Amino acid sequence: MTPNLEVRHIYKNFGEKNIFTNFNLKLPEIGFTAIMGPSGQGKTTLINLILGLMKPDHGEIIGFADKKIAAVFQEDRLLEHKSGLDNILFVLRNQSAGKDAAWEMLARAGLAEDAHKAARDYSGGMRRRLALCRALVTDFDMLILDEPFKGLDIGLKPEIMTLVKQKCQGRGAILITHDRQEAEFFDSHIVDISEHPLT
């Protein structure tokens, strides 16, 4: 692993609750890093810090500012009144040129027949697939995935994971998961956040 991205000397508190104290982490620019550990250890907080959605109390995040980052959050965050197709087109700068890619992604995820249905009418598993499609269709350097396969139909999960793996070839990805088999599927560098040294 060649570390090019760093979380350096991070401190983060929420009121009296301490999340990170002098926390350090080095990440590769290419390949998967799986962040694992018990709930409440700061995995999602770490992602929010990397994305700039939160600011550390002290410390710095290095190397991410010039990256094109796509993200799949624990919540699907879909445009509920828009169709599945429109949810994907919404994130593309050139919607006309991106239509073929959007349709291909929907087909790969088994959503082509429901492409014109409003997202609010999708089942939980369909919503999760749509959220993944929306991220994967973008021109990202780094993909951030927070429990991305939770709620997927068991029969479709292997295909969706394969799709993610293919789309991340030659790129970087950070995967938050409680499932070691998921981490190993992506040949991830595994970081157990609860055991990570605070140095």
Measured between alpha carbons, how far is 180 from 30 in angstroms, rounded to an integer? 20
Q: What's the pTM value of the predicted model, to 2 decimals?
A: 0.91
Task: State the pairing for strand pair 17-28/142-146.
Answer: unpaired
* Least trusted range by pLDDT, from 97-101, 104-108, 152-156, 170-174: 97-101
pLDDT category of residue 197 using cuts at 50, 70 and 90: very low
For 115-146, what is each residue's pLDDT tens digit? 999 999 999 999 999 999 999 999 999 999 99
Measured between alpha carbons, how far is 176 from 54 in angstroms, rounded to an integer? 17
Domains identified in the chain and CATH numbers = 28-41+64-189 (3.40.50.300)
For 8-62, what is each residue's pLDDT tens digit? 999 999 988 889 999 999 999 999 999 998 888 899 999 999 999 999 999 999 9
Q: What is the pLDDT of residue 194?
A: 80
For 76-98, what is each residue's pLDDT tens digit? 999 999 999 999 999 987 777 78
